[in-house]
Structure 1
């Protein structure tokens, strides 16, 4: 099977160089997505004010949970397609894609319709402030109209990455970001020929960008005749295969729940931090903004390792699996470590961009950064180990490990250690929980029971326990 432009055979070549070449565009896509959110927040805050920001924050919470739902199933599709490409089963990969698109396109449309109708109820459940409710409802309903495109594009980009192509999703994400961030001020304020739509204009910009990027992604797949395109009799693959649906759901649900566990931990932590006063809450909020960027390399490397390991498992190249894992750990430590050091060296300069030089929250934010940021080194190694395990279908143990670390351990430290060390217990809870997660992940990785798992289909020879 010859590789096409942008597509890589992840079972061949130098491991570290192959991993980096595949991972960097994935990291670029994640960075663009976060940057897009930051730019849009700036436009809304400057053009519409605090009530509009509160409104979009509530809508963003809803969208995060829905994207977490899709992420797990998309990761299962990525691994299935990766394994199929590894064993050179292109028809099998197309069957996976057809089933995924045929099933989740209908699910996304149904979720969009239900969400549009239940938007007032959803905002009520979120305890949206009364003054922000009309704006939040206006914004959320337009967002729900673009939901099918956003969810389908997320699933399709992950599927394309499973084939070894991380550049095509990057180009389509770039198109989405340019359209979304560029149209936001035009549609909010009614500049030039555009109507003045207020907060609905921001949501409409996102809607247009999502549908345009999805159309570009589908068009590119067919224009370049990428291996995952479906034609002629293959269009029947859009009729869902029950066995494949069962595999995607059984393996995907735990991975989606991992994202939800992260969200629940963050929400609960905010409740504890809010009790410390406005300055501490503001400082913690800024720290979270910066930590979003610090953790991106770990997430990108973990996803790349998962895809690369899946292809090698499909090709029965077990001798490369441990090498990919070690390479992923090294790359994560180098990239994340560099970011942690740079942030520590320039923390005051960076934090002043958010808080101003005279803010009383500035010193608190510096202290939070000092105590908490190093934990993302441990988090990154854990994500690499999880990426390797889930590439062979082991998804329950990583979920249990993550839940134990983020909920009873992290929240227990944050709540119970406060009488002893004060608010430092809050900031140390994340790195200490990350340390506990890493220890549990290493134990499970070394024991070798994850090697007995599988996604679907016949298993290859077992991976040596000493890997």
Structure 2
């Protein structure tokens, strides 16, 4: 059921991130992950274009409010996924395929149960959440429709995310990319059909946009599971291994002790976003619409940090599991170089072509364009600093260190960012909101660098004990010109 010893050895060698030139290995592994995230962001932007052009600024403001809530709900599960991927990656680095499957199975089973609870709570609490955000009255009803339809598909969406995270932890970035294309393709095709009611399908308005996204998630997950078993990928569960889907006590301890702080990191960023959009809503519908359009572009700037950080964390965790500490600092350095190169180019392009890009969401003649451009010029460059901090966090997360980064985010996103806004709003008005972004990002980077250099995170206990013989083998293999099987990318 689990395969022979030789089968296990061949499977565990797939997606090996512990060998070869670090820069090239990271690049090959990170590119599909980055492409997957950019495609996902592009999908969200195309959906926003459909909504903004077909349904107007009221509907676009509604999706801006609904999406920030969705990110909050997503964060509840995402932290457990990050904890599971650290264990999977360390186990793969230690050549312990059974431990990787046990962790993956427990995470997927727990995610399914948790996502059902999140979906139900989200459906029931959606009106209260929108009121808490001070959602403009004109946008409240469409935002509620959009949000509730999305919650229906929450289990399929979150399980799909969990499975893709597990595959990347095992060194396979190509398979998640394939099925991100599937999801985005279905979503793009269905959005105008369901919004406008083309052919025999009735017009559903903003609910049609949400229904298209929900259908895409279900179809993509179904195809992904079929593909995993058809290709016999390393993390597939067969026979008695299907029992791993019942969360085990030892795995739950890791998921909770490590996953909750990781999830809280996402929740802190989500809550910061909730507070910010609540403050933006007080500036009126036009500023809210401008902020919604600017957010679409900022989403792209966050994608490199998330994608490269994910790749760095998986690569560092595999090397930590294999006992290859000599490579971990070089992985961090390569991650920063790649992050600055990719995000720097994106920042330059967005500032150079800001007007036509924003017009995609707001329309050529919208008065909100100038407001959005003003936000862009103040905020955009700060994502370089925040992205670099995320790389430091990703490396430390690879060894299960989570509380320091969480504290840093609380300090920078609430203490510094909101403190800056409160101190400056009376003098400079809404610019206090936009300038709080670079103030918070600079603080995050400085504190992350200090923790990385002096925090003692390398002394944390491994989540998966390394196999001494395999560590010696990995060290000797570094001099082998043939190397090992390279990451799936």
TM-score (norm 1): 0.89
Q: 1:372 — aligned with what?
A: 379
Deviations 1:201-227 (A, max 9, x none): 333322221111111111111000000
2:103 equivalent to 1:74: no
How far 1:57 sits from its partner (Å)?
Answer: 4.2
Superposed counterparts of 1:385-396, under 5 Å: 385-396=392-403
Q: What is the TM-score when the length of structure 2 is the normalising length?
A: 0.85
Residue 128 of structure 1, CA deviation: 5.3
Match runs of 1:148-297 below 5 Å? 148-273=155-280, 282-297=289-304
Highest relative contact order (Cα 8 Å, sep 6+), 1 or 2? 2
Match of 1:98 among 105, 108, 122: 105
Instruction: Find the partner of 1:17 among 18, 24, 37.
Output: 24
Name the CA distance, whole Å, in 2 between partners of 1:356 and 1:43: 11
**Structure 1 stretch displaced more, 413-422 or 304-313:** 413-422
CA RMSD of aligned residues (A): 2.8
1:309–1:372: structure 2 CA closer, same or farther, 3 Å change rule? same
User: Does the 8 Å contact 2:78/2:263 carry over to 1?
Assistant: yes
Give the CA deviation at 1:47.
3.8
Of stretches 394-403 and 237-246 in structure 1, the one that deviates more from structure 2 is 237-246
* SS of the residue 2:153 aligns to: helix
Task: Say which SS state the counterpart of residue 194 (structure 1) adopts.
Answer: coil
Task: Work out whether residues 247 and 455 of structure 1, in 8 Å CA contact, stay in contact via their aligned partners in 2.
Answer: no
Per-residue deviation, residues 266-325 of structure 1 (Å, max 9, x unmatched): 333344455666665555444333222122212211111001000000110110000100
1:42 aligns with 2:53: no
**What does residue 326 of structure 1 align with?**
333
Alpha-carbon deviation of 1:160?
Answer: 0.8
Match for residue 324 of structure 2 among 314, 317, 320 = 317
Partner SS state of residue 417, structure 1: helix
Of 377-386 and 44-53, deviating more is 44-53
8 Å CA contact 1:153–1:214 kept in 2: the answer is yes
Q: Separation in 2 of the partners of 1:312 and 1:220?
A: 28
Change (3 A) 1:244 1:91: same
Equivalent residue number for residue 8 of structure 1: 15
Deviation of the 1:85 alpha carbon: 0.3
TM-aligned CA deviation for residue 135 of structure 1 = 4.5
1:294-313 matched pairs, under 5 angstroms: 294-313=301-320
SS at match of 1:158: helix
- State the Cα deviation string for residues 20-58 of structure 1 (Å, max 9, x = none): 111111111211222222222332344444554455444
Distance in structure 1 (CA, Å) of the matches to 2:72 and 2:21? 38
Alpha carbons of structure 1 residues 287 and 308: separation in structure 2 relative to 1, 3 Å: same
Where does residue 464 of structure 1 map in the other structure?
Answer: none
Offset at 1:190? 3.1
Partners of 2:233 and 2:433 lie apart in 1 by 49
For the residues of structure 2 that align with 1:269 and 1:115, how far apart are their CA atoms? 21
Q: Distance in 2 between matches of 1:117 and 1:378?
A: 38
| Superposition map of 1:289-438 within 5 A | 289-354=296-361, 362-418=369-425, 424-438=431-445
Distance 1:285 1:201 in 2: 19
Confirm whether residue 108 of structure 1 aligns to residue 115 of structure 2: yes
Query: Is the CA contact (8 Å cut-off) linking 1:313 and 1:460 kept in structure 2?
Result: no
The range that moved more, 78-87 or 330-339, is 330-339
Provide the C-alpha distance between the structure 2 equivalents of 1:273 and 1:110, rounded to a whole number of angstroms.
Answer: 30
Question: In structure 1, how many angstroms separate the alpha carbons of the residues matched to 2:131 and 2:277?
Answer: 20
Other-structure match for 1:27? 34
| 1:72, distance to aligned residue in structure 2 (A) | 1.0
Task: Find the aligned partners of 2:446 and 2:126 in 1 and give their Cα distance.
Answer: 42
- Is the CA contact (8 Å cut-off) linking 1:4 and 1:226 kept in structure 2? no
Deviation by residue 1:64-116 (Cα, 9 ceiling, x = unmatched) = 11111121111111111000000000000000011112222122223334444
Cα distance in 2 for residues equivalent to 1:284 and 1:52 = 13
Distance between the aligned counterparts of 2:466 and 2:409, measured in 1?
A: 27
Q: How many angstroms apart in 1 are the aligned matches of 2:455 and 2:234?
A: 34
Give the aligned partner of residue 465 of structure 1.
none
1:334 Cα deviation (Å)?
A: 1.4
User: 1:14: Cα distance to partner?
Assistant: 1.1
Structure 2: 5+ residue stretches without partners: 1-8, 469-489
